Amino acid sequence: MISTHNIIAAFEKAQMAEKANIPAFRPGDTVVVAVKVKEGNRERIQNFEGVVIACRKRGFNSSFTVRKISYGEGVERTFHLYSQQIDSIKVVRYGKVRRAKLYFLRALSGKKARIKERIIRKQKAPKATTKAVEQSADKSAAAEKAPAKAAPKKPAAEKKPAAEKKPAAEKKPAAKKPDAADSK
| pLDDT computed for residue 141 by the predictor | 57
Residues 6 or more apart whose CB falls under 8 angstroms from that of 99 comprise 27
Q: 0.85 cut: is pTM over it?
A: no
| pLDDT computed for residue 150 by the predictor | 53
Instruction: Give the type of residue at 152.
Output: P
3-state per-residue secondary structure call for the chain: CCCHHHHHHHHHHHHHHHCCCCCCCCCCCEEEEEEEEEECCEEEEEEEEEEEEEEECCHHHCEEEEEEEECCEEEEEEEECCCCCEEEEEEEECEECCCCCCHHHHCCCHHHHCCEECCCCCCCCCCCCHHHHHHHHHHHHHHHHCCCCCCCCCCCCCCCCCCCCCCCCCCCCCCCCCCHHHHC
3-state per-residue secondary structure call for 55-80: EECCHHHCEEEEEEEECCEEEEEEEE
pLDDT by position in tens, the chain (length 184): 678 888 988 888 888 888 878 899 999 999 999 999 999 999 999 999 999 999 999 988 999 999 999 998 999 999 999 999 999 999 999 999 999 999 999 998 888 888 888 888 877 666 655 555 556 656 655 655 555 555 555 555 555 555 566 566 565 666 666 665 555 5
Beta bridge partners of 30: 51, 93
CB atoms near residue 158 (< 10 Å): 6
Residues 6 or more apart whose CB falls under 8 angstroms from that of 102 comprise 27, 28, 51, 52, 53, 54, 67
| pLDDT computed for residue 135 by the predictor | 63
Decide if 68 contacts 48 (C-beta within 8 A). Answer: yes
CATH code, residues 4-117: 2.30.30.790
What is the largest distance, in Å, between two alpha-carbon atoms of the chain?
Answer: 125
| pLDDT computed for residue 18 by the predictor | 83
**Cα separation, 21 vs 24, whole angstroms:** 9
- Of 24, 36, 35, 22, the closest CA to residue 68 belongs to 35
